[in-house]
Amino acid sequence: RENPMNKKTVFSLALLSFLALGVCPAATAEESASAQGGKIGVVSVDRVFKEYKATQAKEAELQKLTESKQAEREKKVTEIRSLGDELALLNDEYREKQKATIEQKLQALVAFDQQAKAAIGDQRDDAVSGLLKEIEEVVNSMAKEKGIDLILSDRAVLYRTDTYDLTQEVITVLN
């Protein structure tokens, strides 16, 4: 029969040797960076993006484009409805021509919707990409200027003190 005390002793010694060898890292990223003399910062990219004035300007541009496309679409829909309302008043020969015209306009409307959606999506993607690039440039510049070795997104950090938060500084520089 084995002695339970021996198992505890062996386990404790194994755990201590793992810790001593660094197999089970006990230090957080901040402690590790601090121990090496590094500086860390955290930025809320979502907040920067929302409070960046250029973001608001791009959103306004996209809203205007969306409204313009919507108005253009409404004109097309109104025209198709008007043609449909006239069907009952036409004789058979003109009714068939009108149905063909309505079908063509419906197909054109579907194509317009797809094109408009793609154009707005592409413009939004380009705007977001450009804005994120500007934000990244400011963050990189700030890191170099302040001697910061590592800047993380707040989404990747479970806990931090406000000491590491650079969000407001980034917003101030951008605006």
Tens digit of pLDDT for each residue in 1-20?
A: 444 444 444 444 443 333 33
Give me the mean pLDDT over the 19-31 stretch. Answer: 41
Distances (CA, A) of 157 to 16, 35, 152: 28, 19, 7
Q: Encoding tokens for residue 152?
A: 């993380």
Per-chain mean pLDDT for the chain: 82
Please report the pLDDT score of residue 37 as a whole number: 58
Cβ-proximal residues to 123 (8 Å cutoff; 6+ apart), any chain: 61, 62, 65
Cβ-proximal residues to 83 (8 Å cutoff; 6+ apart), any chain: 98, 101, 102, 105
Distance CA 154, CA 45 (A): 7
Contact 43, 164 (CB under 8 A): no
CB atoms near residue 146 (< 10 Å): 12
Please report the pLDDT score of residue 10 as a whole number: 42
Q: Encoding tokens for residue 43?
A: 């930025």
Distance CA 49, CA 152 (A): 15
Give me the mean pLDDT over the 129-138 stretch. Answer: 95
The pLDDT of residue 31 is above 60: no
In terms of DSSP H, where are the helices of 36-151?
Answer: 45-51, 53-86, 92-146
Distance CA 119, CA 69 (A): 10
Please report the pLDDT score of residue 113 as a whole number: 97
Q: What is the DSSP letter of 157?
A: -
**Residue recorded with tokens 């660094």:** 22
Please report the pLDDT score of residue 44 as a whole number: 94
Contact 127, 62 (CB under 8 A): yes
Helix orientation angle between 167-174 and 92-146, rounded to the nearest 10 degrees = 110
The pLDDT of residue 56 is above 90: yes
For the chain, state the CA radius of gyration. 31
Share of the chain above pLDDT 70, in %: 79
The pLDDT of residue 144 is above 60: yes
Q: How confident is the model at residue 22 (pLDDT cuts 50, 70, 90)?
A: very low
Is the whole model's pTM more than 0.75, yes or no? no
Nearest to 46 by CA among 167, 169, 174, 175: 167
